[in-house]
Amino acid sequence: MGDAIYSQLAKKIPCRIYAPIGSFHELLPYLIRRLLENGANNSFVHKIAGKDFDIDEILKNSLDFGTQNPPPLPENIYHKWKNSSGFDLGNLWELDRIKNKLRDFADGYWRAFSLIDGEEKIGIKPQITNEPANINRNIGDSSTANENHIAEAVAAAEKGFREWSVTPVEKRAACLEKLADLLEENKFELIPLCMREAGKTLADSIAEVREAADYCRYYAHQARRILVSPQILPGPAGEHNELRLMPRGIFLCISPWNFPLAIFLGQITAAIAAGNSVIAKPAEQTPLISHFTVRLMQKAGIPENVVQLLLGSGEEIGAALVTNPKISGVVFTGSTETARVINSALAAKNGPIVPLIAETGGQNAMIIDSSALLEQTADDIVKSAFGSSGQRCSSLRVAYIQEEIADELMELLRGILADFKVKNTMEFDADCGPVIDVAAQKMLFSYVKEMRKKAKIIFDGEKISTEKNGWFVAPYIFEIGSICELQREIFGPILHVVRFKSKDLDKIIDDINSTDFGLTLGIQTRIETRAEYIASRVNAGNCYVNRTQIGAVVGVQPFGGEKLSGTGFKAGGPNYLLRFLTERTYTANTAAIGGDVNLLG
Amino acid sequence: MGDAIYSQLAKKIPCRIYAPIGSFHELLPYLIRRLLENGANNSFVHKIAGKDFDIDEILKNSLDFGTQNPPPLPENIYHKWKNSSGFDLGNLWELDRIKNKLRDFADGYWRAFSLIDGEEKIGIKPQITNEPANINRNIGDSSTANENHIAEAVAAAEKGFREWSVTPVEKRAACLEKLADLLEENKFELIPLCMREAGKTLADSIAEVREAADYCRYYAHQARRILVSPQILPGPAGEHNELRLMPRGIFLCISPWNFPLAIFLGQITAAIAAGNSVIAKPAEQTPLISHFTVRLMQKAGIPENVVQLLLGSGEEIGAALVTNPKISGVVFTGSTETARVINSALAAKNGPIVPLIAETGGQNAMIIDSSALLEQTADDIVKSAFGSSGQRCSSLRVAYIQEEIADELMELLRGILADFKVKNTMEFDADCGPVIDVAAQKMLFSYVKEMRKKAKIIFDGEKISTEKNGWFVAPYIFEIGSICELQREIFGPILHVVRFKSKDLDKIIDDINSTDFGLTLGIQTRIETRAEYIASRVNAGNCYVNRTQIGAVVGVQPFGGEKLSGTGFKAGGPNYLLRFLTERTYTANTAAIGGDVNLLG
């Protein structure tokens, strides 16, 4: 059907004829896609069938349109805040450039201390940090805080709060934006630090730095939006009413090792954008990144008493901080069990009810119906379940696959995994690195052993060879009967798959909801109403259709779950700062001091 | 200085010459006010001193301006939601009309039951309601819920949630607006019910009905504002991102007797505007109003399974509901101590962290400096401390008076109280009625006895005669040294006054903050910077300058405290509904189903 138009096109612009090649099986969907495309109202094939068409209009070079109407540059796509800068990892020259840059820190050694009012504190026990990917390799050391440090940190943070809370919003926002710039300027040290201390891949480490910078700029934008001016409320003549948002005091920020830079900074930047001071207790697995980052904050102009860093374990340092009466709020990202312990400790303490902003685990499902594009689905499953060694709270744990396509999709998954590389991520072609520590590795191996007895193995991680000098765990896929068989979240590269019949869709939605978690949900379907139907019924904080279910972007996919998975509001969302603030009204009887001048207008 | 202008004015419009009369003491402030007024840029006295002035412009009749630019009608002053209708209580004809209307319910008798899915439930024990103003007078009866009712109510509310949560926002909002209309249509029954069951004055009872109607319309407006459309978030081309706000489930609403209509309905309307279902547990002192109101909700079209009413005590019914695993959120208004108990019970239960929206007590101060207008201040103090028999969480408890004006102000207070009427509010000239019950009366009498020993009496309530057949407590004023001497909130008509020296302002602010409460704050000063200074330093949710510190209006003075006084967000404020909702994101890879049609635009 293209002959007529081709004869005209070929005269005016360079043309290419192409012939799709595929098996009989793929023919029908291909033809339908072409029919839909060519039958669309705005298709040129449709237009030339009409009586009045302008051949020049149809033959317009679309490149000219793009040149005349250039899309925004990557840094400007969010309009209201600057997007962080990334790399084109598909570009081999770019990759080579990164490799060279990272070489500067190949023998890096980092030291970490608790930081109180900017001062380095020597703690009780020195702790050596070895690479999880190479346990013989020592990359730094740190010392944990002692009891005295807690009181000192609280005193410094109290002073910090008094000063920072009355610092103009614009100045606080500018400090955060400066911090974002410093993160980007220091990315070639931060990236290898993430790769080596946390065992992250290059792509994941770049994403860490980007997310951290995005948080800085996004919360600076949000602070300006809601804090610069009070909200004027209506009222009768002669009365002036304002709603003011005020910082709360000292926030305790307890962050996890799986996003040692992004979540660590996300919590802190939200708290300080709102005008609070902070005591940060990062995960004991990743002290080096946190120390480095707090130093950057100080370089960015954030006064030293605004953010105190206390290194140590949750049991010792974290627990003592939670019950401290001077703490006005707690932000926690980590396990559901720890969130519960913190919540109980907060409820047991005297004094005001302290807000707890908790972001915890999930038992995340993906529902794949028979209309899904299988190649894309297989790729999204592998990235969602095995990316970052499955060590994201958003990671896919249970893929529900409609029975008609189940065998074929599993075959594709096996195909991708056959070539999956689990190794030291300093080799850039690693698909994933190690898990965080020996405890995690042991737990996962023991789970695999247990599941070998209970479930059908779809992919056996033993097929992938891994080094023995790191905490590596290869991906596994087990087939089970229902998400309800799982007792808890398994934080690692273990995927469960379940076959389902189309008629049982409501049943599996109920099963997913019955876990009482509600973090992420993946949907793969080419039927939009089906996606909407599932999304509206599954209780999950973040729902992703026809893509991976990981990698939420600040301001784009505000992140956070419901029920057992979190308290809200969503990090990186428009309402998050509100939880770090308290509301005050200010009402003045303007008539009492000589009348309401506004009436003259 | 008015001769020249008067000679011209008198020719054109009716003029009046007036002569202020007063003592020497008042002369200087009067002259200064006139000088400020006449010296202002927009004063005609100033204008005629210039060269180019338009005599016709200056002589314009200001009544014409008002006729040509009419101010909005009272019902339209908020623009975005309709204001509730009030009465002009200064108009004696209007008062007579109200009296006649109220006579219809002079012998009213009301019955109350728990209501589950609209069905009246016979409970374990019948309870007789006598008027607190006349304990010999029986105005109704009620029966308290039993344990089975709890399970039934939860089951009904679960069903209610499934249906109501997917009811269009517009329909939910329309039901609330209909409810507001029904409240106003039924005000001549609701007003005497508030007067007789809760011992409120006519003015307070009218305010109750108005506040309840305002909540309905304000939350309907807010629901439309934030729930009709999801928020579209930015993102890269080929991806569609939405932030959706979803209801949480069943809310438990535990409301107090001091606003048996307004707070009862305020909690419920917020929860249901957001799409939740409700189990309401009103105070055991005021079952009749709550039953009547839930029936009105059903008449307004709110489905019967959306709001269940369970009558009974906090210890029995309330406690069992709080720990029920199906409850997704709790709204509580009442004592700080009970809020703490609820918070601990919630933290101890398994399952998700349940949001608690608590609005509790205060130790509310007013700071009066020597520039305050004393007559107005005295009036504001009496209304704030003794209005509603001091039974508002916002009531003034401690007035800090600058020493230079302390004696004079206390004399004015004694003067007002000499004529203060404490009696059955069905006599419309009552300044206040009884306290709620015998327990409250006993507690207050015992406190007065204790304070007689410890403090200097400024006004002795024994000077006011009260009936013995009701729970009446007259106003008392005690002088003390500091707010820090008070151990707890005393919920009744007892005011404490403290003299302070101007130089000690920061000290008294610290003292007020040291109570750890933070609800209302009154400021009386004619120096604007002083008001701002005090307001910015005292931790209080609602600050009022040169007026009473009670009577927050929905949407105008969003209400709620901080620290021991509450959790936020403020009731009747723009962020309140957010606490009844959870956030979800929906991300679709639009490129996966044939491309991003938005790009064509």
Task: Report pLDDT digits (tens) over A167-223.
Answer: 999 999 999 999 999 999 999 999 999 999 999 999 999 999 999 999 999 999 999
pLDDT tens digit string along B216-244? 999 999 999 999 999 999 988 889 999 99
Mean of the pLDDT values across residues A332-342?
A: 96
> What average pLDDT does the segment B310-324 reach?
95
Q: How far apart are CA A433 and CA A470, in angstroms?
A: 9
Predicted complex ipTM: 0.92
d(CA B96, CA B90): 11
Q: Give the CA distances from residue B257 to residues A595, B422, B469, B491, in Å, rounded to whole numbers and listed in that order.
A: 38, 19, 20, 12
Give A586's contacts in chain B (Cβ within 8 Å): 535, 543, 545
**Interface touch B545/A589, C-beta < 8 Å:** yes
Q: How far is B548 from chain A (nearest CA, A)?
A: 10
Confidence tier at B348 by pLDDT (50, 70, 90)? very high
> Is residue A141 a contact partner of residue A170, using CB atoms and an 8 Å limit?
no
Alpha helices per DSSP H over A464-586: 505-514, 528-537
Closest partner residue to A557 (CB to CB) among B535, B574, B587 is B587
Chain A interface mutation, best of B585, B599, B600, highest count of A Cβ atoms under 10 Å: B585
Which of A353, A510, A575 to probe by mutation at the B interface, max B CB count within 10 Å?
Answer: A353
Q: Tens digit of pLDDT for each residue in B42-86? A: 777 777 777 777 777 777 777 787 788 888 899 999 999 999 999
- Written as one letter, the residue type at B108 is G
For residue range B80-92, list pLDDT tens digits in order: 999 999 999 989 9
pLDDT at B52: 76
Residues in chain A within 8 Å Cβ distance of B225 = none
Please give the C-alpha separations between residue A242 and each of A81, A102, A259, B471, B484, in angstroms, as whole numbers: 27, 52, 39, 39, 29
Query: DSSP secondary-structure letter at A314?
Result: I
**Active site positions of B, annotated:** 359, 393
- Which tens digit of pLDDT belongs to each residue from A392-409? 999 999 999 999 999 999
Judged against a pLDDT cut of 80, whether residue B394 lies above it is answered with yes
What is the spatial distance between Cα B436 and Cα B389, in angstroms, rounded to a whole number? 9
pLDDT digits (tens, 9 = 90+) for A406-425: 999 999 999 999 999 999 99
Task: Please tell me the distance from the alpha carbon of residue B408 to that of residue B401, in angstroms, as a whole number.
Answer: 10
Min CA distance, B179 vs chain A (Å)? 23
Query: Which residue on chain B is closest to A348 by alpha carbon?
Result: B344
Distance between CA atoms of B522 and B546, rounded to whole angstroms? 7
Which positions of A are catalytic?
359, 393
Q: How far is B125 from chain A (nearest CA, A)?
A: 34
Q: What is the mean pLDDT of residues B101-126?
A: 91
Q: Using one digit for the tens of pLDDT, what is the confidence trace for B7-55?
A: 877 777 777 778 888 888 788 878 888 888 777 777 777 777 777 777 7
On chain A, the residues whose CB falls within 8 A of the CB of B542 are: 584-585, 587
Cross-chain Cβ contact B587/A562 below 8 Å: no
List Cα–Cα distances, A486 to A80, A188, A459, A480, in angstroms. 43, 41, 18, 9
Would the CB atoms of B583 and A573 count as touching at under 8 Å? Answer: yes
Contact A557 B233 (CB under 8 A): yes
Helices B169-185/B187-198 angle, 10° precision: 70
CB contact under 8 A, B589 and A547: yes
Alpha-carbon separation of residue B560 from A233, A236, B203 (angstroms): 16, 21, 22
Among A34-38, A103-107, B290-294, B297-301, the range scoring the smallest mean pLDDT is A34-38
- Cα A305 off chain centre by: 28
Q: What is the DSSP string of A136-165?
A: EEEEEEEE---HHHHHHHHHHHHHHHHHHT
| CA separation for the pair B52, B50 (Å, rounded) | 6
Split at pLDDT 50, 70, 90, the class of A600 is: low
Do the Cβ atoms of A103 and A442 come closer than 8 Å? no
CB atoms closer than 10 angstroms to residue B366: 26
User: Is domain B93-226+242-360+574-582 annotated with CATH 3.40.605.10?
Assistant: yes
State the angle between helix axes of B202-227 and B187-198 in degrees (0 to 180), rounded to the nearest 10: 120
> pLDDT-based confidence at A597, cuts 50/70/90?
low
User: What is the mean pLDDT of the segment spanning B384-400?
Assistant: 98
Q: Which of B525, B583, B593 to mutate to test the interface with A (most CBs of A within 10 A)?
A: B583
pLDDT score, position A596: 65
Q: What is the pLDDT of residues B243-284, one digit of tens each?
A: 999 999 999 999 999 999 999 999 999 999 999 999 999 999
Tokens linked to B409: 């102000």
What is the per-residue pLDDT for B277? 98
B411 and B375 Cβ atoms separated by less than 8 Å: no
Which residue in B has a C-alpha nearest to residue A515's C-alpha? B351
Q: Give the predicted TM-score (pTM) of the model.
A: 0.94
Residue linked to tokens 């991520």: A425
Q: CA-to-CA distance for B104 and B457, rounded, in angstroms?
A: 43
The pLDDT-based confidence of B448 (bands split at 50, 70, 90) is very high
> Rounded to an integer, what distance in angstroms lies between the CA atom of residue A480 and that of residue A489?
15
Facing B353 at nearest CB: one of A37, A339, A543: A339
Give the DSSP per-residue string, B200-252: --HHHHHHHHHHHHHHHHHHHHHHHHHHSSPEEE---TTEEEEEEEEE-SEEE
**Taking CB atoms and an 8 Å limit, are A541 and B594 in contact across chains?**
no
Q: What order do you get walking across the sheet with A119-121 strand by strand?
A: A119-121, A114-116, A307-309, A277-281, A250-254, A327-333, A356-359
> What residue spans define the domains of chain B?
3-71, 93-226+242-360+574-582, 366-552
Give me the residue from B71, B343, B573 closest to A353, CB to CB: B343
**Encoded amino acid at A367, one letter:** I
CB contact under 8 A, B558 and A585: yes
pLDDT of residue B595: 64
Residue B548 pLDDT > 60, yes or no?
yes
**φ, ψ for residue A566, nearest 5 deg:** 165, 170
Q: Do B592 and A343 touch (CB under 8 A)?
A: no
pLDDT at A200: 97
The dihedral built from the CA positions of residue B436, B441, B443 and B444, taken in this order, carries a sign that is positive
Interchain pair B540, A584: CB under 8 A: yes
A519 vs A365: CA distance, rounded Å: 9
pLDDT at B113 over 90: yes
Class of residue B391 by CB neighbours under 10 A (exposed 0-12, middle 13-18, buried 19+): buried
How far is Cα A529 from Cα A509, in angstroms, rounded to an integer?
A: 16
Whole-angstrom distance, CA of residue B346 vs CA of residue B342: 6
What is the radius of gyration, based on Cα positions, of chain A?
27
Greater pLDDT, A62 or B501: B501
Helices (H), B287-358: 287-299, 319-322, 336-348
State the DSSP H helix or E strand holding residue A37, giving kind and residue range, or none if neither. helix A24-39
B232, β-bridge pairs: B242
Mutate to test the interface with B, among A248, A585, A600 (most CBs of B within 10 A): A585
| C-alpha closest to that of B370 among B399, B396, B398, B409 | B409
- Read off the DSSP letter of residue B253: E
Give the strand pairing for B250-254 and A581-589. Answer: unpaired
- How many CB pairs below 8 A link A and B? 205
pLDDT attached to residue A60? 75
Residues of B in contact with A325 (CB under 8 A): none
Cis peptide before B420 (omega within 30 of 0): no
Which residues neighbour B424 within 8 Å (Cβ) at sequence distance 6 or greater?
A: B131, B133, B134, B430, B433, B434, B467, B470
Q: Half-sphere exposure of B277 toward its Cβ, with a 13 Å CA cutoff?
A: 29
Orientation angle between helical segments A169-185 and A262-273, nearest 10 degrees? 160
Decide if A360 contacts A327 (C-beta within 8 A). Answer: no
**For position A508, what pLDDT does the model report?**
98
Q: Is CATH 1.20.1440.230 the classification given to domain A366-552?
A: no
Whether the per-residue pLDDT at A95 is higher than 70: the answer is yes
* 3-state secondary structure at position B122: coil
Per cent of chain B over pLDDT 90 is 83
> Mapping DSSP to helix (H, G, I), strand (E, B) and coil, where does residue B75 land?
helix
B547–A589: do the CB atoms touch at under 8 Å? Answer: yes
Q: Which two three-digit tokens encode residue A264?
A: 């660590």
Q: Do the strands A396-402 and A494-500 form a parallel or antiparallel pair, or are they unpaired?
A: parallel
* pLDDT the model gives residue A520: 98
pLDDT at A598 over 70: no
Contacts of A29 by beta carbon, 8 Å cutoff, 6+ apart: none
Chain B residues whose beta carbon lies within 8 Å of the beta carbon of residue A346: 347
- List, as one string, the DSSP characters of A68-109: HSPPPPGGGTTSSSPPPP---TT-HHHHHHHHHHHHTTTT--
Q: How far apart are CA B110 and CA B187, in angstroms?
A: 15
Whole-angstrom CA distances from B295 to A71, B165, B307 are: 58, 21, 10
With beta carbons less than 8 A apart as the criterion, state whether A515 and A508 touch.
Answer: no
Q: Which of A239, A340, A568 sits opposite B583 (nearest CB)?
A: A568
* Residues of B whose CB is below 8 A from A542: 584-585, 587
Nearest to A353 among B33, B546, B567 (CB): B567
Q: What is the mean pLDDT of chain A?
A: 94
Selection from B449, B310, B544 nearest residue A584 by Cα: B544
Instruction: Centre a 10 Å sphere on the Cβ of residue B56 and count the other Cβ atoms it contains.
Output: 8
Which chain A residues are closer than 8 Å to B563 by Cβ? Answer: 351-352
Angstrom distance (rounded) from CA B256 to CA B281? 9
